């Protein structure tokens, strides 16, 4: 293992549970435990899985003046309605660049007197610099470095967590709350990235191992590695930054139009005014040139990232950006970008795997129905 990789606060716990540690986004991360990706995936869908996502960036935007000024300044970085997020609620967003591409996708929450932001590990240094450059007049941008982040996901996540933190039963999808456990404050959101009901829990570093062990002591809970995290989010049709979305893909191409609220669209109360608005508003009005779609190979061979896609007449139409095997679907699944004319569900295409063109079809996402507690 390279010397310059960072270690998670829970490193020893992962090793104690037999985690196979691999480099990811500059950290040593558990890719799987002895149960293996398939069992970990299916366990999360059937009961509850615990994920260490402490590599992700937690940031507080602390207003120097009013909350509203910070919300408006934050809105200037995203095609998202920040101002309209009620206290105690979280929303999905994405930083865009001047050409309408995506710098990172993120979650942010209105916590009354400040905004709490969670960003991707690989982008966090750039995100913090970006926010510091654009928000410093109205907010202090404070990276939270003394807390770990855990995700507990699955249909039995609520039952398991409620034994430790009873207040979570009151929360619904995308609520955030600060609730006590063992004398410390847990920052909890009812969200995640698996398509399942579940929670993300920010816990002080000093208590992180104790809290993780208390969760793992619950009969429903099993530790889950990055491998299953990837197959779970793929089945849920969720984008992985750097693969399915990047600085060249616009939110409209990526099928993230649902994350652009009315207030920021043409005719909205605060239309435009975010980086790349010209392209993004044009694509909203006239349609993008390409679209992210779900893909179902017809055979058993997985079609992985970078698989080239072709129309029936052999015209190149796009590429797979994430692909593999869906354990809950029990079949290969993928997502990728195709030219707009080939994005209709049911469109039959071919993917080139090891020199052979194999059939696949454009399919609806999510592949696996979501079970969020709305």
Partner 1 sequence: MKYTKDHEWLRVDGDLVVVGITEHAATALGDVVFVELPEVETVVAEGDEVCVIESVKAASDILAPVDGEIVEVNEKLTENPGLVNEDPLGTAWFFKMKLDDLSVLDDLMDEDEYNELIG
User: Shortest distance, CB of residue 200 to partner 1, whole angstroms?
Assistant: 24
Q: Does 336 bind partner 1 (CB under 8 A)?
A: no
Is residue 286 classed exposed, middle or buried when 0-12, 13-18 and 19+ CB atoms within 10 A define those classes? exposed
Closest alpha carbon to 50 in 96, 19, 74, 26: 19
Q: Does 30 bind partner 1 (CB under 8 A)?
A: no
User: Shortest distance, CB of residue 355 to partner 1, whole angstroms?
Assistant: 11
| ∠ CA 43-332-322, rounded to 5° | 90
**CA pair distance 286, 321, nearest whole angstrom:** 24
Which residues in 290-309 contact partner 1 (CB under 8 A)? 300-302, 304
By CB under 8 A, the count of residues binding partner 1 is 18
User: Shortest distance, CB of residue 16 to partner 1, whole angstroms?
Assistant: 19
Q: What are phi and psi of 330, to 5 degrees?
A: 55, 45
Q: Does 202 bind partner 1 (CB under 8 A)?
A: no
Spell out the residues 6+ positions from residue 263 whose beta carbon is closer than 8 angstroms to its own. 81, 83, 84, 269, 270, 271
User: Shortest distance, CB of residue 244 to partner 1, whole angstroms?
Assistant: 18
**CA pair distance 17, 179, nearest whole angstrom:** 27
Is residue 24 classed exposed, middle or buried when 0-12, 13-18 and 19+ CB atoms within 10 A define those classes? middle
> What kind and span of H or E run contains 332?
strand 331-339
Q: Where does this chain touch partner 1 (CB under 8 A) — which range of 93-101, 189-197, 280-288, 321-329? A: 321-329
Q: Does 95 bind partner 1 (CB under 8 A)?
A: no
Instruction: Closer to partner 1 by CB, 1 or 86: give it.
Output: 1
Spell out the residues 6+ positions from residue 347 whose beta carbon is closer than 8 angstroms to its own. 338, 361, 362
Q: Where does this chain touch partner 1 (CB under 8 A) — which range of 58-66, 72-80, 281-289, 324-332? A: 324-332
DSSP string computed for 144-212: --SEEEEEEESTTHHHHHHHH-GGGGG--TTBEEEEEETTEEEEEES--SSSSSEEEEEEEHHHHHHHH
Q: Does 323 bind partner 1 (CB under 8 A)?
A: no
User: Shortest distance, CB of residue 38 to partner 1, whole angstroms?
Assistant: 4
Instruction: Closer to partner 1 by CB, 354 or 374: give it.
Output: 354
Peptide bond before residue 366 is cis, with ω within 30 degrees of 0: yes
Instruction: Closer to partner 1 by CB, 190 or 229: give it.
Output: 229
Spell out the residues 6+ positions from residue 134 whose beta carbon is closer than 8 angstroms to its own. 73, 76, 77
- Which of 14, 30, 32, 158 is the binder for partner 1 (CB under 8 A)? 32
- Which of 354, 355, 369, 374 is the binder for partner 1 (CB under 8 A)? 354
Q: Does 195 bind partner 1 (CB under 8 A)?
A: no
**CA pair distance 312, 304, nearest whole angstrom:** 20
With beta carbons less than 8 A apart as the criterion, state whether 289 and 340 touch. Answer: yes
Q: Does 38 bind partner 1 (CB under 8 A)?
A: yes
User: Shortest distance, CB of residue 236 to partner 1, whole angstroms?
Assistant: 16
With beta carbons less than 8 A apart as the criterion, state whether 154 and 198 touch. Answer: yes
Q: Does 100 bind partner 1 (CB under 8 A)?
A: no
Q: Does 325 bind partner 1 (CB under 8 A)?
A: yes
- Which of 12, 18, 36, 359 is the binder for partner 1 (CB under 8 A)? 36
Instruction: Closer to partner 1 by CB, 107 or 360: give it.
Output: 360
Q: Where does this chain touch partner 1 (CB under 8 A) — which range of 33-41, 45-53, 242-250, 259-267? A: 33-41
Q: Does 37 bind partner 1 (CB under 8 A)?
A: yes
User: Shortest distance, CB of residue 329 to partner 1, whole angstroms?
Assistant: 11
Beta bridge partners of 208: none
Q: Does 327 bind partner 1 (CB under 8 A)?
A: yes
**CA pair distance 291, 194, nearest whole angstrom:** 22
Q: Which residues bind partner 1 (CB under 8 A)?
A: 31-32, 36-39, 41, 227, 231, 300-302, 304, 324-325, 327, 332, 354
């Amino acid at each position: 293992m390279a010397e310059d990789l960072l270690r998670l606060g829970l490193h020893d716990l992962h090793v104690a549970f037999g985690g196979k540690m691999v480099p990811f986004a500059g950290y040593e991360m558990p890719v799987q435990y002895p149960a293996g990706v398939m069992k970990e995936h299916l366990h999360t869908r059937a009961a509850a899985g615990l994920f260490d996502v402490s590599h992700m960036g937690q940031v507080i935007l602390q207003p120097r003046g009013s909350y509203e000024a910070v919300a408006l300044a934050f809105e200037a970085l995203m095609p998202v309605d920040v101002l309209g997020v009620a206290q105690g609620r979280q929303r999905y967003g994405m930083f865009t660049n001047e050409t309408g591409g995506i710098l990172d996708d993120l979650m942010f929450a209105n916590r009354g007197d400040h905004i709490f932001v969670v960003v991707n590990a690989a982008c966090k240094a750039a995100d913090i610099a970006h926010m510091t450059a654009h928000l410093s007049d109205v907010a202090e941008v404070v990276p939270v470095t003394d807390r770990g982040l855990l995700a507990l996901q699955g249909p039995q996540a609520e039952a398991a967590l409620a034994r430790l933190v009873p207040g979570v039963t009151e929360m619904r999808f995308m609520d955030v709350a600060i609730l006590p456990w063992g004398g410390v404050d847990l920052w909890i959101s009812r969200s995640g990235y698996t398509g399942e009901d579940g929670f993300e829990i920010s816990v002080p570093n000093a208590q992180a191992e104790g809290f993780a062990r208390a969760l793992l002591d619950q009969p429903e809970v099993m530790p889950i590695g990055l491998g299953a995290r990837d197959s779970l989010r793929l089945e849920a049709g969720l984008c992985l930054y750097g693969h399915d979305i990047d600085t060249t893909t616009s939110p409209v191409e990526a099928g993230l139009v649902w994350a652009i609220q009315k207030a920021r669209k043409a005719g909205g109360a605060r239309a435009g005014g975010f980086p790349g608005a010209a392209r993004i508003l044009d694509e909203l009005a006239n349609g993008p040139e390409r679209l992210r779609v779900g893909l179902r190979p017809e055979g058993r061979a997985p079609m992985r990232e970078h698989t080239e896609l072709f129309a029936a007449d052999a015209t190149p139409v796009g590429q797979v950006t994430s692909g593999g095997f869906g354990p809950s679907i029990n079949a290969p699944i993928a997502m990728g970008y195709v030219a707009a004319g080939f994005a209709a569900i049911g469109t039959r295409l071919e993917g080139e795997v090891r020199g052979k063109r194999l059939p696949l079809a454009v399919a609806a996402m999510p592949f696996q129905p979501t079970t969020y507690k709305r």
